[in-house]
Structure 1
Amino acid sequence: MKREDLKKLGLSDEQIEGVMSTHGKDITSLQEKVNGLTSERDGLKSQLDERDEQLDSLQKSSKDIDDLNEQIKQLQSDNKKANEEWQNKLATQTKNFKIETALREADEEEFETLVEVMSAKVKEDRPVSSREALRRLWGK
């Protein structure tokens, strides 16, 4: 709104001043509302940006957790295999130790009997359990 337009309408200087003052107050009030809404919009935009960042972070964390769970499963599997191998080695060592102990403690006759039993195992082409070998060794 311009003063010249109001003069053309036939308003006096006092009336023009009153209209301009009222119009200025209205403009100021509307400008404050616009500024408030702009501030609110900027605040909401900032909150949305923060939420987007949080969502991105959660998605990355989710992928990291999936990767970690996969690694845990792999490590558990590896540990299980290693434990089985260790148990097998321990069983073999225990068996060998018992055989070595029996051989050390055996006299010459028992040793010859043990060799015969082992030879029979090879000839018969069937497995002879350690119990059976000891039964034959001690004649029971």
Structure 2
Amino acid sequence: MKKEDLIAMGLSEEQAEAVVGKYGTMIPKERFDEVNKAKKTLEEQVKTHETQLKDLQDKAKGNDDLQKTITDLQLANETAKTEYEQQLKNERMNAALKLSLHSKVHDVDLVAGLIDKTTIELSEDGKVTKGLEEQLKTLQESKSFLFVPEKQPPTFKGWNPAGGADNGAGASDIGSNFAKMANEKGASDTTNNPWD
């Protein structure tokens, strides 16, 4: 679910940003169910293969060629299991990184590719516990354009109008200047009156 979807549901833009910032974009339930079902199916297949190999091994006692084939299949099965576990670990790492980087950077995939994943540790619930903040600080120093700037209150620079911050102290207007000039001359001179 994206920020636009949350706004369409009636949340304000700030609330939608807070939800997306804390939880990231949400995966649709259908996609989650699909991936979860595929995972369960693969785990069941691995168990079935292991059971079949064990049965075949028991039946093939005494036949050397068949025993060798079974041994080769067992090694292939172990290799596939190891690869599956490594792939699952990588997926968990990538998901945790993307969630951690979501509101901090402009391009999550690009920054995630620059992170050394071997130094990062994850908790049991899949959150980054160690190793990311140090790398982000280093990256932010060298490639600050990748990061979303922190929101700061707007400041206005420029001219202060009369009656502004200095409450008009030291300021004068045209009428005051003419009055001052007339007082300095001592008498009102009507021939040099700029208002006539």
Kindly name which structure, 1 or 2, has the bigger radius of gyration based on alpha carbons.
1
If the length of structure 2 is used for normalisation, what is the TM-score?
0.35
If the length of structure 1 is used for normalisation, what is the TM-score?
0.45
Q: Which has the higher helix share?
A: 1
